[in-house]
Structure 1
């Protein structure tokens, strides 16, 4: 496991489906309210662990605390297919089948994420994978237009427990992904965050965090994507774990 230093589809129709599916999420400002229970205030208290069969139970508990995660309960499988795979996509995609689908991806090494832990409790994640592993991005034709180089990795979903929002966990999750990717070969890492331009934006649109979050984690702005998102990139060198 890696300990971090303390620091914080294809078209507009898919974007609309994404926004509709998460429209009931909390506004960014809503997370300033007091919450019950003990929550770590120090970023140094958090730890990054890779999503695996060993961390599956903690990941599953986090997802279940939030009714299956974003996008109508997709168990963080939305981007694993060329088109979305949330239960709302069709009767054949029940919540239980979606959970089983994600579990199978983890067991067969086809799902990657940096999980943020507060003690033994998972409180956030940043999903990452190769373009083949995560093909279902919005505005895919635009992103993969002729002349555009493919990244080695994509970070496609950043999620934080509702009790831990506005505590720097999103940036810790992104940096966790950038710390784990070198152990699987490194290379160019691309993501598609919301470009808020300093404006307050509903959390329902922040399924891949913000441009600022990624820039603070070391990524550089490349170009716009769709109406309100953008493409950012960074590179990380391969690293062999001792």
Structure 2
């Protein structure tokens, strides 16, 4: 078995998995570097939250925000300087998203750091402001 952090977080409700997000150091995801719209913004050793999923019947109940909050704490505990996300901006172009929505990440304190494609911002949360 490989060493290192688990590749994500799972949200449970009454013993059943209801949500998941991929969370890992960006360096562990070389495919991101090959996509021009997601190329690194700088050389900071950020962590990435690349996928989000909440089961039908459990959506619009705060599970996504809870996963994002735990991802912030987990990345902070691992020593990451920031957490990056690559959500879809539904205000620019309505569509379903497996990467989350920019508005949700903005509510969690993420800021847009670049926008190479109008509907797909790269957002980042500085983890210095997160408690232990």
Relative to structure 1, the CA distance from residue 150 to residue 213 in structure 2 (aligned partners, 3 Å threshold; closer, same or farther) is farther
TM-score for the superposition, normalised by structure 2: 0.82
Higher Rg of the two aligned structures: 1
More strand by share: 2
SS in 2 for 1:173: helix
Paired residue for 1:228, among 106, 109, 119? Answer: 119
Off by >3 Å, runs of 4+ in structure 1: 237-240
Aligned length: 130
1:154 equivalenced with 2:45 (yes/no): no
Alignment partners' CA distance in 2, 1:155 and 1:118? 21
- 1:14-40 CA distances to partner (integer Å, 9 max, x unpaired)? xxxxxxxxxxxxxxxxxxxxxxxxxxx
> What's the C-alpha RMSD, in Å, of the aligned pairs?
2.5
Alignment partners' CA distance in 2, 1:165 and 1:198? 22
More helix by share: 1
Alignment partners' CA distance in 2, 1:114 and 1:186? 16
5+ long unaligned stretches in structure 2 = none
5+ long unaligned stretches in structure 1 = 1-103
Please list, as runs of the form range in 1=range in 2, the aligned pairs for 1:28-177 lying within 5 A after superposition.
108-109=3-4, 111-137=6-32, 140-144=35-39, 148-151=41-44, 152-177=46-71
1:187 equivalenced with 2:78 (yes/no): no
Alignment partners' CA distance in 2, 1:226 and 1:138? 15
